[in-house]
Structure formats: structure tokens, C-alpha cells
């Protein structure tokens, strides 16, 4: 082994030198050795990172996670100079420890051991290793050979050793099949890879984790709080169903509150809505992650008494409320986030990061409730819409897709009135936001002081050449799916004088800046539609008329629609325009066609549609 490394040093040095020219740091080597022995999981990690400049210093800070379920030991580290000479070794006193507490966490038994390895001359290399042990686990390992997508990985190896009769499954992503061999009474799996071509995020591309090398490895059978199996989805669902047994009892005082709240309500959906409002008003989201690593919810009685919980606890609590009223509802696992990360249904495993509640209805108008949300009743929004939800039911767990946001549900509209002035036009705008914009402005309206709201709005309209005069976010019903923003602004770029003519600038739609086809590498993933509609009234100053060369436009294809209509009203001209980009996934082979549609829309939006003549 020593001689093999000696022979490849010149090649590695050459390769590292070329990478160093363009990278702040390089992950020279990453080795992970995982051993399953007597149902205990032992992992040994080794990292060798070259720091090339000041920007690369962010990679010399090491944070190692551990908890009551995962112990950590054998931490070793040192610094090597540019010649490979060890110049500093990590001392025990250099390691600090702190609780891993986020702003939304009340208490959890997760901790971080941290240290920094820094030298005053570039390049230098940090080397560190450590070991973890776990007695209860749902994953053998989720392996990514990437420290950060912005820096290359020169060499990475994952080795997994298990007893010869131990059953596991693995899923490769953008990586070759492992070498598998039997050594004595063990089975050894070995993966090798690198990451030398940087993968960059692109506008509406899939999550980078779906494009970069990774391996996910799970046991067929496991013990985590109780025995379970990933044999199939039914088996996994039964394990999670068993976790929920015995934690749905409500205190008597809570039952009395429920009875009082719905005593005059006969309609079942109205009962659910009233109680959901009660949940929103009386509880708050706090991440509580102890004991079972966050898989077993706190009992309903705990939430009732303490008025807080994480997504699991709040969902279990509200399910318990509906259980008390004999209204069927189901605990539903989901992968939530700003981007959809599809569940691999051919790989039964714990692929979820959030829990919501599914309430079936006889008229097929099912109810979906995110019990951590402060948005409208039965509104999932961009965080959880259009996802595969895993519905937990003993011996009958199954997948059901959450509702997609429709074009109407994401439609943003602007009613605009522009009053002529030879110096600065006055613009009055009434925005109606839905979908992602509704979510954003609901947070701004409720979570920010007026001065902060003004700063956000002022900065947002500055790009259109407007100066804010005043604004208002009107009150709205808690279950409204739209929110308004009204503001008045001034602008000296709307009406442009050229002799006896005036050119009127278009108030353009906000269209994502998609890459040119020759620069695009990844497919398109639009998780919900983009839909905007404007009705703009431009005042025509006295003595001017609209030129007759104005045109209406219309584009429609599989990717979306664009319409522009111009109406001459004598004392004003009204521009009505609408843009719809459909939700969908489009392969890179279709990107040129998709881009042509976006390019046409952009060209029309940038064009000066209106001119006035005296």
C-alpha cells in the first residue's frame, strides 16, 4: 500500500495543482468505512482538504454532530504545509462543544464538537478523522463524496462491511456499481468516485443532490425504538403506525374546550376549520428532537398542556382532536421544501422530512392540513403541494399525491393607473398576490414592522425605476387565499419625450433569467405554474393621440401562453397582458424550444408598445 501511494504522487500533485488554480479549496481525499457488527453501526471518517486562499478558509472549520443515539470518538487532526510536512496537531483543548440548537428548537439532545485548523501560508492542507457509533439506525449510510458543490473532490471511497448474511439495499445516483466481495465471514461493498467537474445550479433545475454522486444504503430489518422493516412500504408503514399507538389521548379539559368550540356547528368541514384555527392560535411550532431521533411524536396530551410541538407532535395532536370527534384522519409523511424532491417508490425507506394531516371527505374534496402553518385552512402551498404523501394506516399504508397549485391559485394581478406628468408620472398599483407571492407577503404583513415592510417594498420597485410614495397591506380574512399590496409611486421613465412624440415604457412582467441553450446543462423542473396578469391604464396627455401602429400579440404552446391587448379609450390607453408558464418537467432535449418561448415573451415585454403623437 505504501509503494502504491508513492508511485501515484506525481500524478496527484499535477492534478491537484491544476484544480487549485480555479478552486478556493480541494477535497483531496475522503474515505468512509462503515461496519455493521452485532446490530451496531460503526463509522470511520477521513478527510484531507487543501486550502488554497482566504476564501477557502470556510472549509477549515469542522463541526461534528453527535447525540444520545450517535456517539463520537477518536477525533484526530493536523495541518500540513505545502510540502506535506506536519506543522500542527490538534489538541484536546482545541475542541469545543455546544448544543445544536436552532432558533425553532426548544430542546434537543444533539451536540456539535467543533475545531478550526488554520495556517498563515497558502496552500496548506488539513487532515482530520473521527469515529461514530450508533445502536439504533434507519440508514446504514447516506453518502455524498462532496464537501461543497463549489469545490472539487479528487478521490472518494466508501466501504461497507457487514456479516455475510446481513441484508441491505442500496441506491446509486450518478455513481458506478460497487465492487462486492466476500472476505471470511463478511461481505464488503466498495464504491469509488470523484467530483472534478463543478455542477452549477441553474434556473428551475432539479435539486443539485439529484445531479451529484451519492449512495443511500438501508438495512432490510432494523431496530429503532422498536423492530421494523423496509421489506416494502406496507412494512415500513406498519412500523410507523406502531409508533403512534397510545399517544392520542387528550386531557378532559381539552375535550371540554373542543366541545365548547363546536357546540353550535353541524357541518363537519366547519368543525374541522374551527378547530384548525384553534390549533393555529393556541400552539406554536417548536422543533423537539429527543429520544427516538425525531421519529416518534410527543403525545397529544403533551401538546395540549404545553401548547407547542414539532410537525409530528402537532399533527398527532390534531389527529387526536379529530379522533375524539370520530372524524377519520391520517398521519402523512412528505418531503417538503421550496423544491420538489420526488420519492423513489421502488426504494422503501425513510425519505421524508415533514408530516402533515390528511382528512378524506366523502365528496372527494379532501382536506390537507399542515399543522405547523399559519396560512389559510386547507392550503398546503408551495412547501408541500404536488408531492407524494405517504399515508400511515396499519396494514394499509399507501401513497397519495397532494393537490397541485392550479394556474388560478398562483395568479398574481396588477391593476395599474398611470397619471401623466412631464417630469414624474404618478403610478397607483393594486397588487393581488396568490400562491408563492401570497405566502411571502403574508409573512411580511404579519411578521415585519412597518419600517421593514417599507424597506422591502421600496427596494422591490426600485428596479422598475419607481420611487415609493406610500403603501398599504390591507387586512384580509385568515382563510383568504389572496393578499393585497397597494402602493403609490413616482417615475421619470414612463413617459419619454422625443420632439412631438411620447414613448410609453412597458411595466414588464418579472420573468426568470433562463440560461441560453448553449450554456444550459440541466433539465427544467417547474413545480407549480407561473401566472401573471396586468391591466394598465396610461393617461394620454391633452393634445396627443395613440399612433395606429400598435399591435396585439398572442403566443400559445405546450410551455405556456402570452397575450397582449391594447385598447384606445381616447383619454387613456389600456394595456391588458397575461403570462402563463405551465408547471412541468422538461428534458434538456426540449430546452431550446422552451427557451424560444421565454425569449419571445421577453422580447415582447421589452418592446415599446405605445407611442403618442401630437
What DSSP string describes 451-494? HHHHHHHHHHHHTTT-EEEEEE-----TT-S-EEEEEEEEESSS
| Calpha distance 150→196 (Å, rounded) | 10
Torsion angles phi and psi, residue 568, rounded to 5: -90, 115
* Residue ranges in the chain whose pLDDT is less than 70: 1-21, 101-109, 288-293, 608
CATH number at residue 148: 2.60.40.3140
The answer to whether residues 25 and 140 belong to one domain is yes
Percent over 90 (pLDDT), the chain: 83
Q: In sequence order, what are the residues at sequence separation of 6 or more whose Cβ sits closer than 8 angstroms to the Cβ of residue 190?
A: 157, 158, 159, 160, 178, 179, 180
The answer to whether residues 374 and 515 belong to one domain is no
The answer to whether residues 214 and 236 belong to one domain is no
Biggest CA–CA distance in the chain, Å, is: 97
Q: Which H or E run includes 117?
A: none
Candidates 224, 245, 9; CA nearest to 137 is 224
Where do we find the cell 455546544? 98
Interaxial angle between packed helices 252-261 and 311-324, expressed in degrees from 0 to 180 and rounded to the nearest 10: 70
Q: Domain end: 173, 193, 218, which one?
A: 218
| Calpha distance 77→489 (Å, rounded) | 59
Residue 20 lies in a domain: yes
Residue 259 lies in a domain: yes
Residue 340 lies in a domain: yes
The SS3 of residue 447 is helix
Torsion angles phi and psi, residue 12, rounded to 5: -65, -40
Candidates 261, 333, 288; CA nearest to 107 is 288
| Calpha distance 331→358 (Å, rounded) | 7
User: Could you tell me the pTM of the whole model?
Assistant: 0.90
Candidates 367, 429, 376; CA nearest to 400 is 367
Torsion angles phi and psi, residue 117, rounded to 5: -115, 110
The answer to whether residues 454 and 480 belong to one domain is yes
The answer to whether residues 498 and 554 belong to one domain is yes
Each residue of 517-560: pLDDT tens digit? 999 999 999 999 999 999 999 999 999 999 877 788 999 999 99
pLDDT value, residue 469: 96
Q: Return the C-alpha cell found at 464.
A: 422598475
pLDDT value, residue 364: 74
The answer to whether residues 275 and 184 belong to one domain is no
| 523 C-beta neighbours (distance < 10 Å), count | 18
DSSP code for 222:
E
The answer to whether residues 205 and 271 belong to one domain is no
Residue 590 lies in a domain: yes
Q: Return the C-alpha cell found at 566.
A: 391594447
Each residue of 144-195: pLDDT tens digit? 999 999 999 999 999 999 999 999 999 999 999 999 999 999 999 999 999 9
Q: Return the C-alpha cell found at 513.
A: 433569467
Please say whether the beta carbons of 297 and 334 come within 8 A.
no
Residue 303 lies in a domain: yes
Please say whether the beta carbons of 69 and 132 come within 8 A.
no
Candidates 142, 106, 313; CA nearest to 215 is 142
Note the helical H segments in 125-266.
233-243, 252-261
Residue 517 lies in a domain: yes
CA angle (606 as vertex; 433, 542 as ends), nearest 5: 85
Residue 223 lies in a domain: no
Torsion angles phi and psi, residue 515, rounded to 5: -70, 150
Q: Domain end: 167, 185, 218, which one?
A: 218
Q: Domain end: 347, 381, 401, which one?
A: 401
The answer to whether residues 146 and 100 belong to one domain is yes
Which structural domain, as residue segments, surrounds residue 232?
228-401
Candidates 247, 243, 246, 263; CA nearest to 325 is 263
Residue 201 lies in a domain: yes
Q: Which H or E run includes 441?
A: helix 435-447
The answer to whether residues 161 and 257 belong to one domain is no
Structural domains in the chain (count): 3
CATH number at residue 365: 3.10.620.30
pLDDT value, residue 292: 47
The answer to whether residues 37 and 144 belong to one domain is yes
pLDDT value, residue 102: 56
The answer to whether residues 85 and 188 belong to one domain is yes
Entry field: residues in the chain: 614
The answer to whether residues 307 and 419 belong to one domain is no
Distances (CA, A) of 169 to 70, 232, 525: 22, 12, 28
| 333 C-beta neighbours (distance < 10 Å), count | 26
Please say whether the beta carbons of 296 and 225 come within 8 A.
yes
Amino acid at each position: 500500500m505504501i509503494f502504491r501511494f508513492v508511485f501515484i504522487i506525481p500524478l496527484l500533485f499535477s492534478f491537484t495543482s491544476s484544480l487549485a488554480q480555479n478552486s478556493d479549496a480541494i477535497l483531496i481525499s475522503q474515505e468512509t468505512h462503515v461496519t455493521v457488527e452485532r446490530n451496531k453501526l460503526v463509522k470511520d471518517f477521513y478527510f484531507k482538504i487543501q486550502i488554497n486562499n482566504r476564501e477557502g478558509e470556510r472549509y477549515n472549520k469542522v463541526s461534528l454532530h453527535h447525540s444520545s443515539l450517535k456517539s463520537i470518538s477518536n477525533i484526530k487532526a493536523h495541518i500540513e504545509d505545502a510540502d506535506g510536512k506536519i506543522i500542527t496537531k490538534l489538541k484536546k483543548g482545541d475542541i469545543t462543544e455546544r448544543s445544536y440548537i436552532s432558533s425553532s428548537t426548544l430542546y434537543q439532545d444533539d451536540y456539535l464538537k467543533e475545531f478550526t485548523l488554520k495556517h498563515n501560508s497558502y496552500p496548506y492542507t488539513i487532515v482530520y478523522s473521527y469515529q461514530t457509533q450508533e445502536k439504533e439506525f434507519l440508514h446504514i449510510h447516506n453518502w455524498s463524496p462532496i464537501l461543497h458543490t463549489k469545490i472539487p473532490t479528487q478521490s472518494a471511497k466508501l466501504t461497507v462491511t457487514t456479516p455475510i448474511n446481513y441484508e441491505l439495499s442500496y441506491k446509486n445516483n450518478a455513481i458506478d456499481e460497487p465492487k462486492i466481495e466476500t472476505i471470511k465471514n463478511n461481505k464488503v461493498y466498495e464504491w469509488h468516485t470523484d467530483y472534478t467537474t463543478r455542477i452549477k445550479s441553474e434556473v428551475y433545475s432539479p435539486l443539485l443532490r439529484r445531479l451529484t454522486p451519492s449512495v443511500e444504503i438501508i438495512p432490510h430489518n432494523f431496530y429503532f425504538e422498536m423492530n421494523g422493516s423496509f421489506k416494502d412500504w406496507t412494512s415500513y408503514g406498519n412500523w410507523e403506525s406502531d409508533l403512534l399507538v397510545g399517544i392520542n389521548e387528550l386531557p378532559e379539559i381539552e375535550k371540554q374546550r373542543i366541545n365548547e368550540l363546536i357546540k353550535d356547528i353541524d357541518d363537519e368541514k366547519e368543525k374541522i376549520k374551527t378547530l384548525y384555527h384553534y390549533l393555529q392560535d393556541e400552539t406554536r411550532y417548536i422543533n423537539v428532537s429527543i429520544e427516538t431521533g425525531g421519529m416518534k411524536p410527543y403525545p397529544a396530551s403533551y401538546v395540549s398542556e404545553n401548547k407547542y410541538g414539532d410537525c409530528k407532535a402537532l399533527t398527532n395532536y390534531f389527529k387526536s382532536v379529530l379522533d375524539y370527534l370520530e372524524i377519520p384522519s391520517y398521519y402523512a409523511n412528505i418531503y417538503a421544501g421550496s423544491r420538489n424532491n420526488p420519492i423513489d417508490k421502488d426504494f422503501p425507506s425513510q425519505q421524508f422530512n415533514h408530516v402533515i394531516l390528511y382528512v378524506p371527505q366523502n365528496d372527494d374534496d379532501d382536506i390537507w392540513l399542515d399543522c405547523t402553518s399559519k396560512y389559510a385552512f386547507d392550503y398546503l402551498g408551495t412547501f408541500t403541494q404536488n408531492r407524494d404523501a405517504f399515508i400511515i394506516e396499519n396494514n394499509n399504508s399507501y401513497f397519495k399525491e397532494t393537490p397541485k397549485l392550479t394556474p388560478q391559485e398562483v395568479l398574481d394581478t396588477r391593476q395599474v393607473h398611470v397619471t401623466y406628468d412631464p417630469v414624474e408620472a404618478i403610478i397607483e398599483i393594486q397588487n393581488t398576490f396568490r400562491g408563492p407571492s401570497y405566502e411571502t407577503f403574508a409573512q411580511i404583513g404579519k411578521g415585519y414592522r412597518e419600517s421593514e415592510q417599507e424597506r422591502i417594498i421600496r427596494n422591490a420597485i426600485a428596479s422598475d425605476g419607481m420611487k415609493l410614495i406610500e403603501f398599504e397591506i390591507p387586512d384580509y380574512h385568515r382563510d383568504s387565499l389572496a393578499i393585497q399590496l397597494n402602493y403609490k409611486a413616482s417615475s421619470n421613465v414612463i413617459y419619454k419625450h422625443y420632439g412631438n412624440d411620447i414613448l410609453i415604457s412597458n411595466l414588464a412582467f418579472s420573468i426568470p433569467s433562463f440560461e441560453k441553450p448553449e450554456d444550459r446543462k440541466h433539465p427544467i423542473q417547474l413545480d407549480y405554474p407561473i401566472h401573471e396578469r396586468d391591466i394598465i391604464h396610461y393617461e394620454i396627455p391633452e393634445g396627443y393621440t395613440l399612433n395606429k401602429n400598435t399591435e396585439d400579440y398572442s403566443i400559445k404552446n405546450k410551455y405556456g401562453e402570452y397575450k397582449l391587448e391594447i385598447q384606445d379609450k381616447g383619454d387613456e390607453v389600456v394595456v391588458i397582458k397575461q403570462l402563463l408558464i405551465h408547471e412541468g418537467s422538461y428534458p434538456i432535449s426540449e430546452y431550446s424550444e422552451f427557451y424560444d418561448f421565454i425569449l419571445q415573451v421577453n422580447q415582447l415585454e421589452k418592446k415599446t408598445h405605445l407611442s403618442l403623437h401630437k
